[in-house]
């Protein structure tokens, strides 16, 4: 009977699962996910001009945004465009599939005013019905 008692002790000892290492691994993975998730969606770095009481953009769908970076690079959404001459056909193609012809211009505050006006003129030539300028509230 001693052999039978030894086997039952072994079985009872092996029947319990230690979940502590599993919980530790899951917590580490959760922390890694929480730290890396905000970095996965990196936008374009643009220092927007600050305006008091700037109205918020309320849109049901994601708006089309044209960005002028500090270096003068043009982006339609997240796609880079070579220059303002190439911007017109790109915008016409994008706007042809949209019902709402509203486009927002997001320009770094260090970009020369003349460059912003050139981009605005190209956007109007492309058939943009409404042009919005993106700004942000001042940091206090």
pLDDT band at 60 (very low <50, low <70, confident <90, very high): very low
Distance CA 26, CA 59 (A): 38
Owner of token pair 């919005």: 132
Helices (H) and strands (E) in the chain, counts: 4, 5
* Helix ranges restricted to H, 41-83: none
* Of 44-53, 66-75, 106-115, minimum mean pLDDT range: 44-53
Query: Span 60-76, mean pLDDT?
Result: 84
CA nearest neighbour of 103 among 123, 75, 125: 123
Note the CATH number of domain 64-133. 3.30.420.270
Distance CA 122, CA 82 (A): 13
pTM, rounded to two decimals: 0.58
- Ordered by start, the domain boundaries in the chain are 2-40, 64-133
pLDDT digits (tens, 9 = 90+) for 83-136: 888 888 988 888 888 888 889 999 988 999 899 999 999 999 988 888 888 888
């Amino acid at each position: 009977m001693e052999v039978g008692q030894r086997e039952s002790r072994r079985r009872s000892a092996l029947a319990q699962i230690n979940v502590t290492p599993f919980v530790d691994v899951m917590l580490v993975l959760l922390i890694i996910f929480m730290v890396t998730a905000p970095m996965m969606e990196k936008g374009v770095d643009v220092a927007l001009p600050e305006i008091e009481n700037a109205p918020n953009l309320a849109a049901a769908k994601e708006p089309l945004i044209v960005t002028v970076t500090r270096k003068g690079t043009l982006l339609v959404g997240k796609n880079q465009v070579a220059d303002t001459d190439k911007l017109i056909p790109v915008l016409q193609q994008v706007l042809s599939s949209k019902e709402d012809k509203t486009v927002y211009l997001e320009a770094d505050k260090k970009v020369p005013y003349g460059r912003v006006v050139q981009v605005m003129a190209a956007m109007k030539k492309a058939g943009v019905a409404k042009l919005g300028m993106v700004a942000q509230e001042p940091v206090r």
